Structure 1
């Protein structure tokens, strides 16, 4: 499960995992249901966090932030949910998909009203009303990265990948025990102008 931010290689990760033979849920499932909403529904009802995502091998983007539709789910940033996932799935690989915080911020600010949606929403680490400035967004991103590194410091089923590094396929392959194919075929979000 990817536990970084949107605009941080999640599409590239999805395509590469699928090229490598895994089935990934990215933002929505095959029935166009939001992954984050499905995870929260399961957790608050005492179910396996992935109860509504049977048949998937990976969750590459779980967050959804559409306040006008009443959708605001961030299981990838919520340590209570991450803990529930770890309890239910001791071997689940948590992947911190790292990208420079300034680059994530820039992409979030340029993506379809995302900054406004973030500012309106109550998000782990970013209360409603915050997120209007680059500085606030960068601090939020940095704080999450630091929290992940501390929380998972002794967890051998946690890796951090820098999506701009050429070593991503090797790192993921070692952690998953498979050969990762297609990473070079899918230009990571990190280097797509205006991503």
Structure 2
């Protein structure tokens, strides 16, 4: 049986941290956004962004998972820390390379309603107010993402593109993290029970920020 590898193609604030914890509780070694020293003894990986390493492997070796053998799963693969704006989940050439180099890889896409993700992005630190609008992101060029409508359109477009790309493929599952059946569906998809499911990295309660919703 081939090794189980799991890659989440969901966007920030779509339930990525919940998925990371659930996969770890299921016994998988998971990287989430940026590799921490506690996750590996390889000092060369400490502090590296998962998405950055995927592009290094893709362009230098033809294998986006090169150098990431220690990990079974990847719960959030984008990086948005200026000057970096790295979004492998939008790159179908890179995804095709993963599928070619690692047959059987399971692709998830954590999902919430676009309006919920857009609102959560707005309330999470400066993600929606500064970092998204300032960055060049696939489908969201610099200067866009300021309004709720722009973020929702971008979010919905991403998941629609994933649905089209993986249409008819049994190696992809878009999962509503609010669905009570989510852990059972993910477990069946991966062939591994998830002993935990809940909420983590929840936005702090704060006064609503101004946002031009037009």
Instruction: Give the structure-2-normalised TM-score.
Output: 0.84
Bigger Cα Rg: 2
Match of 1:144 in 2: 158
Match of 2:199 in 1: 187
Match of 2:19 in 1: 13
Q: How does 1:103-118 map to 2 (within 5 A)?
A: 103-115=116-128, 116-118=130-132
CA distance in 1 between partners of 2:14 and 2:76 (Å)? 10
**Structure with more relative contact order (C-alpha pairs < 8 Å, separation 6 or more):** 1
SS of the residue aligned with 1:156? coil
- Distance 1:194-1:48 versus aligned 2 partners, 3 A rule: farther
Say if 2:32 is the partner of 1:26: yes
CA distance in 2 between partners of 1:46 and 1:123 (Å)? 24
SS of the residue aligned with 1:154? coil
Match of 2:101 in 1: 88
Give CA-to-partner distance per residue, 1:113-166, whole Å, 9 cap, x none.
Answer: 112111111111111221111111100000011111111002110011100011
> Between Structure 1 and Structure 2, how many residues are aligned?
190
What is the RMSD of the two structures over their aligned residues, measured on CA atoms?
1.7
Of 63, 87, 103, 2:78 maps to 63
Say if 2:57 is the partner of 1:42: yes
Structure 1 segments of 4+ aligned residues over 2 angstroms from their partners: 191-195
Alpha-carbon distance, 1:23 to partner: 0.8
- Distance 1:110-1:192 versus aligned 2 partners, 3 A rule: closer
SS of the residue aligned with 1:51? coil
